[in-house]
Amino acid sequence: MRSFRQRTIQVTRTALALAALLSGCAATPPPAPLEPEKTLADFDARGLEGVARLPAPSSGWDRAQWLTAALALNPQLAQERAEVDAVAAGERTAAQTPNPNMELFAEYLKTAAQSPAWLYGVSLEFLLRRPGERARVRRQAALETALAQSALSDSIWEVRSGLRQALLEQVSTREEEQLLEQLRGERQQLLDADTARLKAGDVARAQVLTDQVELARVAQRLEQARAREADARAHLAAEVGVPVGALQGAGVRWEEWSRIDALAIEAPERYRHEALIGRSQIVSALREYDLAELHLQGEIAQRWPQLRIQPAYAWGGEGVREDALDAIASESALGVSFEVPVFNQHQGQIAEALGRRTAAGAHLKAVQAAVYAQIDRAQLAWPTARSSWQQMRQLADLADEQRRAEERALRAGASDRGALLAADIAATEARLALLESAFAAQQAFGALEDAFRRPLDGTERNWTPDGGPRA
């Protein structure tokens, strides 16, 4: 019994030492708690200053510079980059060799001479992977990383697209406000002139009331434009990832935005072909198909035995006995375990994996068809929007010509001040309509860029959705 206690204490101490060793090897990173008040304060303190490679925002940024700021500051992109890093860490996990499992055991034995004894032992279990299993696991981890990167690339483009729209709203509403201020002044002059003519008996009171209604409508349009400009600033701040207050004093440089005739597409067919085979959604669908194919291969490989080798060693056997030949000094054992495919051969799992692969193939074709339709719609809409802008520009030119004709007629004494004011109002309204048409054309051009997933004009043309330079 004393020998038994000593051996038990020895085994217990060995197990505790092994447990302490294993716990020491498993170092954990320190906790990093988050406090909503702290994160809110950090966001409130965000600004545009200090973004790498950018001048002071007060100098005015072009579209490429605003995009650089968004890529650096947008919280959604930061989250997705962290998710890519988390998924990429799975590649390291996939490359690891499985650790063996250890088992400590004790057995109570009786010899043929009825001599009781304790047997102590240790066994290790080693997993022998199937042929190609390690390569499949590593390939799966790499595909999952590629999927996360494709999702990030698409999110970057969505931020770029939203940023372009916000900048377009910003510059267009700014010019619209200027024209509406001018129109309000012209309407006020017309109202004053008609009021004076009413006192002289030259016009009816209905004309003055009409002037007052039109002036009120212009004031309402001006307030709506100011509201759109405020919303555009909030939209711009959201896309960049800063509070609205951080945009105070920051300028936007896009002077040629309304020059629709300067917009052109150099190689639309090449861009179309590249988009139909290389857009991030198509790449993601292709990676999903590759994952489904890999999963099918793994299920097929399940039909082969998964071997587990279990070497073991035991010692002991010293107890009260009559014959020393019955003592057990030590023993060794080797076990091999594997699944016996008696009741099924994994046909159900294989059929499921085959179905998922078929569905992934259909998904790829559906995504490609959707991209095809988006490109078709954008390519058809752009010439129409451009033609509409050209027609509106001709009307604006005619309105300007009519205004100049009224000026000449007034100087020659062949017209009156009211006719010139009406011509001024008509010319300003035509420029407002031209501005609206330019905005619609820019949106159509932006939709074409979204379909091709590449900038087609301006300072962003050497930028790619992953943030690097285009070759």
Nearest to 143 by CA among 277, 276, 295, 279: 295
Give the Cα separation of 425 and 193 in Å (integer). Answer: 14
SS3 378: helix
Angle at 142 between CA 75 and CA 158, to 5 degrees: 30
Contact call for residues 287 and 147 (beta carbons, < 8 A): yes
Give the Cα separation of 365 and 282 in Å (integer). Answer: 9
Give the Cα separation of 135 and 142 in Å (integer). Answer: 11
Backbone dihedral angles phi then psi of residue 305, each to the nearest 5 degrees: -60, 140
Please give the share of the chain, as a percent, with pLDDT higher than 90. Answer: 57
pLDDT for the residue numbered 273: 94
pLDDT-based confidence at 202, cuts 50/70/90?
Answer: confident
Contact call for residues 80 and 73 (beta carbons, < 8 A): no
Angle at 296 between CA 295 and CA 298, to 5 degrees: 65
Q: What is the pLDDT of residues 47-89, one digit of tens each?
A: 998 788 889 998 999 999 999 999 999 999 999 999 999 999 9
Contact call for residues 462 and 67 (beta carbons, < 8 A): no
Give the Cα separation of 131 and 4 in Å (integer). Answer: 46
Q: What is the pLDDT of residues 307-340, one digit of tens each?
A: 888 888 777 755 433 444 445 566 778 888 877 7
Give the Cα separation of 225 and 178 in Å (integer). Answer: 10
Give every CB contact of residue 427 below 8 A, 6+ residues apart in sequence: 396, 399, 400, 402, 403
In the predicted structure, residue 101 carries a pLDDT above the cut 80: yes
In the predicted structure, residue 354 carries a pLDDT above the cut 60: yes
Give the Cα separation of 405 and 426 in Å (integer). Answer: 13
Domain ranges in the chain are: 260-303+345-454
Give the Cα separation of 211 and 418 in Å (integer). Answer: 12
Give the distance from CA 363 to its chain's centroid.
20
Nearest to 467 by CA among 21, 183, 71: 71
CA-to-CA separations, 411 to 397, 407, 408, 421, in angstroms, rounded? 21, 6, 5, 14
Give the Cα separation of 66 and 72 in Å (integer). Answer: 10
Query: What are 358's two structure tokens?
Result: 């078929």
SS3 463: strand
3-state secondary structure 388-435: HHHHHHHHHHHHHHHHHHHHHHHHHCCCCHHHHHHHHHHHHHHHHHHH
Give the Cα separation of 375 and 454 in Å (integer). Answer: 12
CA-to-CA separations, 455 to 233, 251, 461, in angstroms, rounded? 22, 22, 5
Mean pLDDT value across the chain: 86
In the predicted structure, residue 466 carries a pLDDT above the cut 60: no
Q: What is the pLDDT of residues 339-351, one digit of tens each?
A: 777 788 888 889 9
Give the Cα separation of 432 and 434 in Å (integer). Answer: 5
* Run of H or E including 79: helix 75-95
SS3 332: strand
In the predicted structure, residue 18 carries a pLDDT above the cut 70: no
* Run of H or E including 318: none
Query: What are 467's two structure tokens?
Result: 């943030």
CATH number attached to the domain at 260-303+345-454: 1.20.1600.10
